[in-house]
Structure 1
Amino acid sequence: MVLSTYGARGSVEPIVGLAVRLQEFGAEVRVCAPPDEEFVELLAGVGVPLVPVGRPVRQLVTSVKPGSTVGLAQRAAELIAAQFDTVATAAEGCDALVASGPLPVTAGARSVAEKLGIRYVHASPTPVLLPSPHQPPPARRGRPMPPGVTDNRALWDMDAQNANEMFGAAINAHRASIGLPPVDNVRDYAFTDRPWLATDPTLSPWPELTDLDVVQTGAWIRPDERPLPPELVAFLDAGAPPVYVGFGSMPIAASKDVSRAAIEAIRAQGRRAIVSHGWAGLDLIDDQDDCFAVGEANHQALFARVAAVVHHGSAGPTTTAARAGAPQVVVPQGADQPYWAERVTDLGIGVAHDGPTPTTESLSAALKTALTPETRARARAVAGTIRTDGATVAAKLLLDEVGGERP
């Protein structure tokens, strides 16, 4: 099996979760992913071979202005070429190719699978990307939707046209080079009419009555058995549960200001703080002993010991905090994060912050609600409904479809 993706930690981690489960079932697996050092270490740690694809993601994420289209066409062309070259080579002799991530990756991957005559699966880590009359499409860089159009089907049709204009020529040129006919709808070709949705059905229920036969497996979670660092354990043991704040792989403008706002807001609620550096470079603002800074850590273990989790709202931390029963304050920065913020609010397991830039006052107000006994009780109740078998479901389904043996 070959699993192909490109993106930050939120894109790679679910693929690793599926890879580990497939490997436990006896399948031979390799993962095509960015060559960032943290992904190299992650895959080496679980014994899954990494096939490096493209440029390191962290440099792109932290150096490209959010929303900018500068260099977008070149990056897309590189990703498409990598699928037809590196990924195609990795997939030779395999039974299936599972692809997740941006459209240049998935459209290229399906073309490779078509050429090799192997099973192809499109996997989405969020429902926001899948066409549905119940939701509008996310914006594509440099391709804003016309104002005044509110019909979701019409908007998805426009999105398909935008995708063709952005990626169609490059995809079809590569397809022609390996003897495949052109496709006239790159997006729908990549997605197929039966995509897999790797999210929890409680956190993100897929609506009925859509044109797609979506297979919702549950989130692809890799059980993390790593112990927390001794210094962090000592801090946790030294007082009441603290509030965690971290923005993962998101680059945050004015990170020093955000760090100060977060710590002051947490202190205003009488709580200690754990600050995760992340790609935004959040850090402590003084040397008081009520705050602790962390780098890479086991969030599954850590979130079970905190009073609340303040994060950017991607699928990963939202699901991990929900499983842990930790109330959440979601500060969405973009992409699908407003969707997850809305789901957290609708479920009553936390609060959506208004806007991407928190102040001490705005974050303190959100924390005041998140830290109430009512929110804590609701978060604990929902935690019991979150499925933990998503990667197992997906692995069994994939092995069944390719005729492989499994327990």
Structure 2
Amino acid sequence: MAEGSNRKMKCKGESFLLESGEICVSIPNSVIEKSEHIWESFIIAQFHGKAPSPGDLHAITNGIWSSKLRNITVSKLLKKAFLIKIPCPITWQKVIVQGMWHIDNQPMFVAKWKPGLQPEIPELTSVPVWLDFHNVPPQFYSEEGLEHIVGALGDPLFLHPATANMTKLEVARVFTIIDPSKPLPEAINVRFDSGHVERVEVSSPWLPPTCEHCKGVGHNIKSWPTAPITCPTCQSSGHKLEDCPRSKTSETSKGEEEKKKKKKKKKAKHPKPSTEQASKEDTSEGNIVIDIGLDAIGDITSNEKETVVANPAEEQDSDVESQLSADSEPEENSSEEEQEKSSSDEEGESSESLSSDDSGFSQVTSKKTRKQQKKKERQAAMALKPQREKELSRSKRSKSRNL
């Protein structure tokens, strides 16, 4: 079930057919008079130049006039005219009193509206704008003094609250009606009765745009349909070909592509050395240098050193204990010396084998050969363990006998 207003509608009036065969309904004027009050909250907004979209205008007007409630609605009436509904009567009165608003960098004229009114865009013979006056002498920083200064440029309407309350003495701001066809002067001179003259600078935060093509006020050359195209790249009449943003971006992209090509050429001429290469030759001095990949076998050589030098402190203790037992038992000493010689011979053999293994690492070894070498090292270390244990036990016995 569709939802709507609580009041139920009825069929009213009589219909008839036209000569064309279409249906026509006649409505009395009393219906028009009764419905006039529902349009009281509407105003008409018109633009001289290209009008913004209804969505943009809705966002702008709500941000300026109803930032909290955001209850203002916008409907498009004509190409450059919109109907704006403002529910708050205070806001509606404020908008109508000002008459012209600066919207989307162009003037927007507002007025009352009711059904049957044919909208006409007013000419910009006079525009209300804010004028700022800098370096105003303190003697003239008053409502009457500013009326004398502003009167030379237009019709002053009212002071800005900061100027009326004298809270910002650096600038005096006055809302003034000016003729937009006349250029705004940079300064105006003020003369005292004594003959002393001071210069007051004049500026405005916004002035209506002026078309460079037709010299009209209220629109710029971009929004004028008959303006000539000055930039063939982007088909725009707002800038020249030298100032086209598209050409600048294309030039920067071309420069970046050229830089990339130069970098690629340099890389092709001077390639980086690969880490997986097994050997390299340096013929600058007639010498051949072989890179055997020591980084790959660094872990293996460190493990070998640990296995070969196994507990050096224990070997020193065994040597000291053997010297102490040499004075008490020469026979055992001789046998021990023979065993030490044999062990030293075995160690020498193992060291020789390790040295041969180290020399074997001068070439890049595979994983299988590394595993086999590790096994040999472990077997050699295990073979030395029982001999060292025997030496330690004999040294302990000699110590006990001497005691």
Higher RCO (CA-CA < 8 Å; seq separation 6+): 1
TM-score by length of 2: 0.19
Please state which structure has a larger fraction of its residues in strand. 2
The higher radius of gyration belongs to: 2
TM-score by length of 1: 0.19
